[in-house]
Structure 1
Amino acid sequence: METVLITGASRGIGLELTKQLLALDYKVIATYRNAPSNDQLSLKDHGDLTLVELEVTNESSIEALRESLEGQQIDVLINNAGIIGPDEQDRDNVSAPNWLETFSVNTIAPLLVSRAIIPLMQNAANPRIVTISSQMGALNRDAVGMYAYRSSKAAVNKVMQVMALELKEQGITVCPIHPGWVKTDMGGDEADITAQESAAGIIKLTQGLTLDQSGTFFTWEGDVHPW
Structure 2
Amino acid sequence: MTTTLITGANRGIGLEFCKQYLHEGHQVIACCREPEQADELQALAQDHIDQLELVALDITDDSQLSGLQDYLTGRQIDLLISNAGAYGPKGLPLGEYQAEHFEQVMAVNVTAPLMLVQSLMLHLAQGAKIALLSSKMGSITDNGSGGSYVYRASKSAINAIGKSLAIDLSPKGTCVTIFHPGWVQTDMGGPNALITTEVSVRGMRHVLEQSSLADSGKFLNYDGTELPW
2: CA distance, partners of 1:73 / 1:165: 21
Q: 1:40 is matched by which residue type in structure 2?
A: L
The 8 Å contact of residues 35 and 41 in structure 2, kept in 1 or not, is answered as no
2: CA distance, partners of 1:157 / 1:89: 24
Q: 1:195 is matched by which residue type in structure 2?
A: T
Deviation at 1:34, TM superposition (A): 2.6
1: CA distance, partners of 2:35 / 2:21: 21
Q: 2:3 is matched by which residue type in structure 1?
A: T
SS of equivalent residue, structure 1 residue 42: helix
2: CA distance, partners of 1:128 / 1:89: 37
The 8 Å contact of residues 88 and 94 in structure 1, kept in 2 or not, is answered as no
- Percent identity between the two aligned chains: 38
- Which structure 1 segments of 5+ residues have no match? none
Instruction: Please report the TM-score for the alignment, with normalisation by the length of structure 1.
Output: 0.96
2:130 match: 129
1:75 match: 78
| Residue of 166, 170, 176 corresponding to 2:172 | 170
Q: 2:34 is matched by which residue type in structure 1?
A: N
2: CA distance, partners of 1:73 / 1:164: 19
1:18 match: 18
| Residue of 117, 120, 123 corresponding to 1:117 | 120
Deviation at 1:35, TM superposition (A): 3.4
Deviation at 1:164, TM superposition (A): 0.8
2: CA distance, partners of 1:203 / 1:70: 27
2: CA distance, partners of 1:69 / 1:16: 23
Deviation at 1:105, TM superposition (A): 0.3
Deviation at 1:88, TM superposition (A): 5.2
Task: Give the aligned length.
Answer: 225
Give a deviation string over 1:9-44, Cα, whole Å, max 9, x none.
000000000001000111110101133400000011
2:4 match: 4
SS of equivalent residue, structure 2 residue 120: helix
Give a deviation string over 1:68-104, Cα, whole Å, max 9, x none.
0111110010000001112354321122112121100
2:205 match: 203
SS of equivalent residue, structure 1 residue 221: coil
Alignment map for 1:1-227 (pairs within 5 Å): 1-36=1-36, 37-45=38-46, 46=48, 47-87=50-90, 89-121=92-124, 123-124=125-126, 126-141=127-142, 142-227=144-229
The 8 Å contact of residues 86 and 99 in structure 1, kept in 2 or not, is answered as no
1: CA distance, partners of 2:92 / 2:110: 17
The 8 Å contact of residues 35 and 55 in structure 2, kept in 1 or not, is answered as no
- Which structure 2 segments of 5+ residues have no match? none
Runs of 4+ in 1 over 4 A off after TM superposition: none
Give a deviation string over 1:199-218, Cα, whole Å, max 9, x none.
11111111121111111111
1: CA distance, partners of 2:10 / 2:34: 10
